[in-house]
């Protein structure tokens, strides 16, 4: 593939290279004239068209608009316009369907919203586009974004690019699958219990949940309420670690609308010395057994960091046994609108009748969503008992941050197992708590891929830190990518 360089020297950038490189590197080549934005966009459109029939990740495309935007980007390169300095100038991306992207559907996986087409972009989407990125389309989610398998009655079920018989994760499963397949270099996801990090882990890519309140939720659906505005974060899934912080910087900061978003000074991820870094490794929460391949991978990471001069300590923390109760209670305490009201699209959904309809194959809802609506009515995480778990969460936040310190990170499993087969989450409903607990603690966490296991499925680890130290987790992710190779393109 021959492209004319801006200064007249032709260079060759092959399709294979475009489908493997970082978004930042691609943007640099585009602004230099070494490859056109149209070429980069076409390469990724072709890859979406090739892999999507097997993984059902992108649910609605905007290829025609993306081609026009790429052509406009190439015009700006020829004019040497200042817009070309944007960090992701001319680079294709994808967007989780729960974000408003003008002209695209925004159902959040709820069939009652099938005709909802926003006319304005969500804040994070608008900022990503202002950073030069070109959305190719929107990607699949779980119903109301509250389950770790991406499946709904609007678009169907998303599959894992490493094994289509397995799940891609949720609720940003379409993003994980598409980025993991190599069909986009990066995508916008959202995370309230692991919805960025679980798909990133299952699909072998990098995903970052920022410190609570860094990125506004304006224009997302469903939108959280009260304190939960800081528990849910929007952020990147990327095939290369170097894109995580530029992406986060592009979408971060108050927009004057989301009251949960506050200014946070993001440090320099390129200046994180491993020597002397405190590393706390916690291999289990004490209740949900972790797959031995994941434990072994986490130990390899700890050993590598120790060899680089980090001060590594493996510990146990008893309060983590209550992770699910803490997460559930803190979400319940923040909510004014119940989940079953959202499921009923503003009205009380008659759950008994709807479960009967589900049994008969007539429901517009998925079983996990109906089950969550039923569980929500139980008193376990409300009242005095719920308040006790909320207090336990606040104490855990202080204890964990004190343990890690200002110049330290936490190594923690990204999930209890490798990517499960479809429908298995129904019998493993609490396996996601390894990510969920960090949401209500508001701590930044990066999902880092660590190659493939014995069955060809991605391995990985979470790297977390105290609030405001996003640069530490991303800096360690950069180091681990150099050491362990990062994303491995699947053979779909």
Which of 159, 195, 329, 445 is labelled catalytic?
195
Mean pLDDT of the region 360-386: 89
The bridge status of strand 134-139 relative to strand 92-96 is parallel
pLDDT at 181: 98
Of residues 8 and 342, the one with the higher pLDDT is 342
The bridge status of strand 58-61 relative to strand 134-139 is antiparallel
Distance of alpha carbon 289 from alpha carbon 282, whole angstroms: 13
Mean residue pLDDT of the chain comes to: 95
pLDDT at 382: 84
The residue among 477, 439, 479, 482 whose CA lies nearest residue 460 is 477
pLDDT at 2: 37
pLDDT digit string, tens, across residues 290-308: 999 999 999 999 999 999 9
pLDDT digit string, tens, across residues 113-171: 999 999 999 999 999 999 999 999 999 999 999 999 999 999 999 999 999 999 999 99
Mean pLDDT of the region 28-57: 98
Mean pLDDT of the region 324-331: 95
Per-residue DSSP letter, 310 = -
171 is catalytic: yes
pLDDT at 6: 40
- Of 6-10, 67-71, 443-447, least confident by mean pLDDT is 6-10
**Does residue 1 surpass a pLDDT of 60?**
no
Cα distances from 296 to residues 201, 419, 446, 486, in angstroms, run: 16, 16, 19, 17
| DSSP E strand stretches across 133-274 | 134-139, 151-152, 156-157, 159-160, 163-167, 186-191, 206-209, 233-238
pLDDT digit string, tens, across residues 396-433: 999 999 999 999 999 999 999 999 999 999 999 999 99
Residues 6+ apart with CB under 8 A from 387: 329, 333
pLDDT at 378: 77
The residue among 407, 439, 396, 475 whose CA lies nearest residue 197 is 439
pLDDT digit string, tens, across residues 210-226: 999 999 999 999 999 99
Spell out the domains of the chain, with CATH numbers in brackets: 2-317+388-484 (3.90.1300.10)
pLDDT digit string, tens, across residues 80-95: 999 999 999 999 999 9
Residues 6+ apart with CB under 8 A from 427: none
pLDDT digit string, tens, across residues 347-370: 878 888 999 999 999 999 999 999
User: pLDDT grade, residue 379 (50/70/90)?
Assistant: confident
pLDDT at 11: 54
Which of 94, 150, 159, 171 is labelled catalytic?
171
96 is catalytic: yes
User: pLDDT grade, residue 374 (50/70/90)?
Assistant: confident
Of residues 375 and 324, the one with the higher pLDDT is 324
User: pLDDT grade, residue 14 (50/70/90)?
Assistant: confident
Mean pLDDT of the region 460-480: 98
pLDDT at 98: 98
The model's pTM: 0.96
User: pLDDT grade, residue 309 (50/70/90)?
Assistant: very high
| DSSP E strand stretches across 229-310 | 233-238, 278-281
pLDDT at 5: 41
Which of 96, 150, 172, 220 is labelled catalytic?
96
- Of 32-41, 55-64, 331-340, least confident by mean pLDDT is 331-340
36 is catalytic: no
Distance of alpha carbon 231 from alpha carbon 209, whole angstroms: 10
């Amino acid at each position: 593939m021959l492209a004319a360089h801006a200064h007249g020297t032709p260079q060759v950038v092959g399709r294979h290279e475009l489908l493997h490189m970082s978004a930042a590197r691609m943007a640099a080549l585009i602004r230099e004239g070494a490859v056109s934005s149209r070429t980069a966009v076409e390469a990724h459109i072709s890859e979406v068209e090739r892999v999507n029939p097997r993984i059902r990740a992108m649910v609605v495309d905007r290829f025609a608009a993306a081609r026009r935007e790429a052509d406009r980007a190439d015009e700006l390169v020829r004019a040497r316009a200042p817009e070309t300095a944007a960090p992701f100038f001319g680079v294709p991306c994808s967007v989780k369907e729960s974000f408003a992207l003008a002209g695209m559907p925004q159902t959040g996986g709820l069939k009652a919203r099938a005709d909802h087409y926003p006319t304005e972009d969500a804040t994070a989407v608008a900022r990503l586009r202002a950073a030069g990125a070109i959305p190719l389309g929107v990607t699949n989610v779980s119903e109301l974004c509250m389950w770790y398998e991406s499946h709904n009655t609007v678009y169907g079920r998303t599959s894992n690019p490493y094994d289509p018989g397995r799940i891609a994760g949720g609720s940003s499963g379409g993003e994980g699958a598409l980025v993991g397949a190599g069909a986009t270099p990066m995508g916008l996801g959202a995370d309230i219990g692991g919805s960025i990090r679980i798909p990133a882990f299952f699909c072998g890519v990098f995903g970052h949940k920022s410190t609570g309140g860094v990125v506004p939720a304006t224009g997302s659906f469903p939108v959280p309420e009260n304190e939960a505005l800081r528990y849910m974060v929007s952020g990147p899934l990327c095939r290369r670690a170097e894109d995580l912080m530029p992406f986060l910087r592009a979408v971060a900061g108050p927009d004057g609308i989301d009251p949960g978003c506050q200014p946070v000074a993001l440090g320099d991820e390129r200046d994180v010395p491993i020597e002397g870094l405190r590393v706390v490794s916690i291999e289990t929460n004490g209740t949900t057994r972790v797959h031995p391949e994941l434990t072994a991978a986490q130990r390899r990471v700890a050993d590598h960091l120790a060899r680089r001069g980090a001060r590594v300590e493996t510990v146990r923390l008893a309060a983590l046994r209550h992770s699910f109760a803490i997460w559930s209670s803190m979400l319940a305490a923040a909510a004014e609108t119940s989940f079953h009201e959202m499921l009923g699209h503003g009205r009380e959904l008659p759950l008994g009748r709807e479960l009967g309809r589900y049994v008969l194959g007539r429901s517009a809802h998925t079983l996990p969503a109906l089950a969550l609506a039923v569980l929500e009515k139980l008193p376990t995480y409300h009242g005095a008992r719920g308040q006790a778990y909320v207090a336990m969460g606040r104490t855990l936040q202080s204890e964990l941050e004190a343990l890690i310190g200002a110049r330290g990170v936490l190594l923690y499993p990204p999930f209890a197992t490798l990517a499960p087969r479809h429908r298995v989450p129904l019998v493993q409903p609490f396996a996601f708590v390894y990510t969920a607990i960090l949401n209500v603690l508001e701590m930044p966490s990066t999902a880092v891929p660590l190659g493939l296991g014995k069955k060809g499925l991605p391995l990985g680890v979470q790297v977390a830190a105290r609030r405001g130290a996003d640069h530490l987790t991303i800096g360690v992710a950069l180091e681990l990518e150099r050491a362990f190779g990062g994303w491995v393109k699947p053979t779909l």
